[in-house]
Amino acid sequence: MTEEELKALEKEVKKLKRISSEWASQLHDLVEDRLPAGYEEIPTIAQSTYDACKAWADANKRFNELSSAG
């Protein structure tokens, strides 16, 4: 993997971390401000938060493996 590709992957990891943090914030707001009345929002927000965090974790793992291999 070239240095440019590695930097692009690092940028993607940072972007995915930001997105996962935004979803986590939405989940937190749901718990703090809208429950119990907003209980129907739980599955959608929880799944989106999980998916965003999983995407970040996968990309971060790949970045760490590639950056330590070189």
d(CA 63, CA 60): 5
Tell me what pLDDT residue 70 has.
62
CATH number at residue 24: 1.10.287
pLDDT tens sequence for the chain (70 residues): 899 999 999 999 999 999 999 999 999 999 999 999 999 999 999 999 999 999 999 999 999 999 998 6
d(CA 63, CA 16): 12
Domain count, the chain: 1
Dihedral (C-alpha) 22, 44, 39, 34: value to the nearest 10 degrees?
A: 20
Model pTM? 0.91
